[in-house]
Amino acid sequence: MPGANLTRIEAEERRGVVSAPIHYAVDLDLTVGAKDFASVTTITFDAVPGSTTFLDLIAETVTEVTLNGVALDPAAVFADSRIELAGLTEHNEVTVKALCQYSNTGEGLHRSVDPSDGNVYLYSQFEVPDARRVYAVFDQPDLKATFDFSVLAAKSWIVTSNMPVASVEETDTVTAEGTLGDHEAETTKRWVFETTPVMSSYLTAVCAGPYAEWHTEYLNEDGRVVPMAQYCRQALAEAFAKDVDYLFDITKAGFAFYAKTWGVPYPYAKYDQIYVPEYNAGAMENIGMVTIRDQYVFESKVTDALAERRVVTVLHELAHMWFGDYVTMKWWNDLWLNESFAEFTSTLATAEATEWHDAWATFCSGEKSWALGQDQLSTTHPIVAPINDLNDTYVNFDGITYAKGASVLKQLVFYVGREKFFEGIHNYLDKHAYANATLADLLGELEATSGRDLKAWSAQWLEESGINTIATEVEENEDGTIASLVLRQSAAAEHPVLRSHRLAIGFYDEDPATGAIVRTDRIELDVDGETTVVAEAAGKRRPALILVNDDDLTYTKLRFDDKSLAFAAANLHRFDDALARAVIWLAFWDMTRDGEFPAKDFVDTTLRLLAHETESTTFRYALACMGTTAWHYTAPAERAGIVEHVAAELWRLAETAEAGSDQQFQLATAYLGYGEEGDEAFAANAKGLLDGTVVLDGLEIDNNFTWTIVKALASVNAIDEAGIDAQLAKRDTTENREFALGARAAKATAEAKEWAWNEAITNEALTNMQLEAAARGFAGTPRADLADPFAAKYFETADWIWTNRTFHMAEALLESLYPVYADPARLVELGEAWLAAHEDADNALKRIIRANVESSQRMLKVRDYNAAL
């Protein structure tokens, strides 16, 4: 058997053998120690008589397999993470007893020990196929089943799962040594949960530990009272208590918004949200019990962008209760049915049902910019992606599946009309409730309600890769009116499809009364083919700026006419609408990274924007993209001067920003990323912020910002190991251990980089979050002399990493350890050689490597463009 990487063909074959009703009784014993837990699974299912299939299970030891009353030899039937089941009958029962392993990677059943109090916390993460790390299972989305969970755990712990508790019984069993970390052994309780509705295995969940808890209720639209709960670590309880009521209110607003929008009330028995440590994703939509990374519990000041992102995340996971959970894709090629819908509808709900009314500007600057970047790589793929195996699925949790898909759905709503769109969604949800569905099922319902033939739309938007560019061409009359306005659509040679767009064109001019740049006119139209004449524009006075894709209604790259380009570059900060600024800024960023707009001009435009921008996510991404431009896209001869200029301007802007504002916080944080060894002014500012001799009014030097300063000092060798250790000793927490690792890895010495490299790759005791902190610290020092020695080493080590680490850890290492500040020409040479020698390598591995190499190719192209100016 080929092992853990299930192929689509194998899943289809197994689906042809196994059939409903399928039921699991899963009994977990979480009291046997710090490394292992006991798992007993009994599965009843129907099958084709005489057939053979297999169960998925990743476990160190299988002690017993019984099929239809016959004991099988585990050594004979268990291999390569699969259990062979031969000679099946029409009705079958199989019991598997195993010893499974806790993870520290966020996969399967993760075990975390909080150093601040010694408490142990467990939580599950099963997407894509990691239920098999906890119990024996047919681990594919279209073999839905019902589940009964029973869990033995320490008496002081609480246990949660997808369904409400049916019973809790104390036992005389005592926890084994190590189960509770350094805490003394104790007796146990057995938690039994109600039977789940029919669901996919990847959506099952179990969490256990001494979590702090809060409870409330929601009166559901169908008249039921839905119990709600929130949980977090005890160490975060005081901070979380300040936000719990707000997060309950956001969730309730989401319940109401989705029920009204789709006409389907929340379908499940309860709704828990549990904030867990060391999470390897943002959150996970387990039915009735969502797990969320506890970086969203705010002990220290965060940006408004992150606060808004928490709201979007809460509403994203809630949307999955309908899209993904209630109706589930048959196979992972329709992953977008989950993620694109959740991303689109959570942004819609955030904009219309919460105080974050500029959520679509946030989406444009953040999510859409992510999509545009990934869609211009050779590794791009259709939104409905070809998924041949599980490894293909892993790498498709990307900007195409999430952000491009959501942007395209926004276009579809505009194309068919909001009322008809959501009427179709209601019918889709009703027709496929608790079942599996495909793209064809969805389009069928939308066609029925809208009256539009969506097959051509789907072929263009969902089944073809790449992005179009729409350029504006204007001819003026002598009196300043428009003689003609033409939109010219183009596509990259490798993805030559031209798409149909429904979009708006905005005319923008200065408001004489306020000095702001405001929209003065708007035209809606369909764009199709290579050229579209905007007849309605003829004879209108030419405005200062013509903005195609006003309101960001379609998914495309933009190129302005010359007058609009010059006006926008000089006046972007004066536009009064956050979404208009985001659309224009994203176009400038795209032109800059395509080598069509000078890097120095982009830096200057961004700095002017930062002096006035109020939308936090646009502010955040403007800072990040300006940093990429300054460090990687500028002409080598000018780079040092531009970086120095940016750092000085960031500090100046931080000094003049409103006291305590989000802008001040982001500017000060960004400035601390521009340190260079030998810059005495930088070191003095950073040390002064830390010891209080330098003060920015309103800027709180709290725990997280303290570590931002410490890492900045480490990056210029202005703090030693003892200083980092002393800072950690003041407050030894889960988060601060990660910060300390990042600071040590950020030190600008060859010894520190070698240590960080080895620590990230070989120290399997590191949690996933610690590993990522070490890797980011390693790669984040902008010095070629420190990065160059690791260029060849990176490609020499890639195969070992892929073979010896789990997927999530391999992905984190291969993405974060890429020595991006090394000579890009050398990285391209080595990378192209590696790819040529690895034509038969796993597709997911090649996609990660290719994306890194192409980022270096882009650096060379854009650097050369700017050097030639």
Place of tokens 């504002």: 661
In this structure, is residue 309 part of a structural domain? Answer: no
Alpha-carbon span 742 to 816, nearest angstrom: 12
- Given a contact cutoff of 8 angstroms between Cβ atoms, the answer to whether 437 and 327 are in contact is yes
Task: Give which of 731, 821, 739, 828 is closest to 782, Cα–Cα.
Answer: 821
Could you tell me which residues are beta bridge partners of residue 593? none
* Residue 273 clears pLDDT 70, i.e. is over it: yes
Q: Per residue in 816-832, pLDDT tens? A: 999 999 999 999 999 99
Share of the chain above pLDDT 90, in %: 94
Among candidate residues 210, 231, 265, the one where a domain is terminated: 210
Query: Phi and psi of 490, rounded to 5°?
Result: -135, 170
Q: Per residue in 462-510, pLDDT tens? A: 999 999 999 999 999 999 999 999 999 999 999 999 999 999 999 999 9
- Residue 3: what pLDDT? 58
Share of the chain above pLDDT 70, in %: 100
Residues 531, 604, single domain; the answer is no
Among candidate residues 407, 441, 461, the one where a domain is terminated: 461
Q: What average pLDDT does range 798-820 have in this prediction?
A: 95
Residues 98, 178, single domain; the answer is yes
Residues 168, 219, single domain; the answer is no
Hey, what are 396's tokens? 């498709």
Q: What average pLDDT does range 341-356 have in this prediction?
A: 96
Hey, what are 447's tokens? 């066609």
Residues 447, 504, single domain; the answer is no
CA 640, 370, 569: angle at the middle one, nearest 5? Answer: 55
In this structure, is residue 193 part of a structural domain? Answer: yes
Peptide bond into 18 cis (omega under 30): no
The domain in which residue 506 lies consists of: 468-554+556-580
Residues 50, 132, single domain; the answer is yes
In this structure, is residue 315 part of a structural domain? Answer: no
Alpha-carbon span 275 to 211, nearest angstrom: 9
- Which CATH number fits the domain that encloses residue 545? 2.60.40
Q: Per residue in 684-700, pLDDT tens? A: 999 999 999 999 999 99
* Annotation marks residue 317 as catalytic: yes
Residue type, 817: L
- Residue 93: what pLDDT? 98
Which of these is catalytic: 308, 317, 343, 423? 317
Residues 160, 260, single domain; the answer is no
Q: Indicate the pLDDT class of residue 390, thresholds 50, 70 and 90.
A: confident
3-state secondary structure of 716: coil
Alpha helix ranges (H) inside 716-842: 721-730, 734-746, 750-762, 768-779, 784-787, 791-804, 807-816, 824-837
Place of tokens 């996609």: 847
- Which CATH number fits the domain that encloses residue 406? 1.10.390.10
In this structure, is residue 308 part of a structural domain? Answer: no
- Residue 666: what pLDDT? 98
User: DSSP secondary-structure letter at 658?
Assistant: P
- Given a contact cutoff of 8 angstroms between Cβ atoms, the answer to whether 302 and 356 are in contact is no
**Contacts of 729 by beta carbon, 8 Å cutoff, 6+ apart:** none
Alpha-carbon span 372 to 357, nearest angstrom: 23
Q: Per residue in 287-309, pLDDT tens? A: 999 999 999 999 999 999 999 99
Structurally, how many domains does the chain consist of? 5
Among candidate residues 461, 496, 531, the one where a domain is terminated: 461
Place of tokens 């080595």: 830
List of E strands, 403-530: 435-437, 468-476, 482-491, 501-510, 517-527
Residues 386, 484, single domain; the answer is no
Q: Is the pTM of this model over 0.75?
A: yes
Residue 322 CB burial class (10 angstroms; 0-12, 13-18, ≥19): buried
Residues 121, 160, single domain; the answer is yes
Alpha-carbon span 10 to 15, nearest angstrom: 8
Residues 564, 667, single domain; the answer is no
Alpha-carbon span 434 to 20, nearest angstrom: 13
Element (H, E) at 21: strand 18-29
Q: What average pLDDT does range 33-60 have in this prediction?
A: 97
Q: Which of 456-465, 621-630, 646-655 has the lowest mean pLDDT?
A: 456-465
List of E strands, 157-298: 158-161, 165-174, 187-193, 206-209, 212-219, 225-232, 271-276, 283-284, 289-293
3-state secondary structure of 283: strand
The whole-angstrom distance between residue 646's C-alpha and the CA centroid of its chain comes to 29
- Given a contact cutoff of 8 angstroms between Cβ atoms, the answer to whether 862 and 595 are in contact is yes
Hey, what are 373's tokens? 């970047």
- Residue 386: what pLDDT? 83
Task: Give which of 410, 423, 429, 477 is closest to 450, Cα–Cα.
Answer: 423
In this structure, is residue 390 part of a structural domain? Answer: yes
Residue-averaged pLDDT of the chain: 96
Residue 476 CB burial class (10 angstroms; 0-12, 13-18, ≥19): middle
Q: Per residue in 158-176, pLDDT tens? A: 999 999 999 999 999 999 9
**Contacts of 827 by beta carbon, 8 Å cutoff, 6+ apart:** 791, 818, 819, 852, 853, 856
Residues 344, 296, single domain; the answer is no
Residues 445, 473, single domain; the answer is no
Question: Most distant CA pair in the chain: distance in Å?
Answer: 93
**Contacts of 739 by beta carbon, 8 Å cutoff, 6+ apart:** 704, 707, 710, 711, 728, 773
Peptide bond into 128 cis (omega under 30): yes
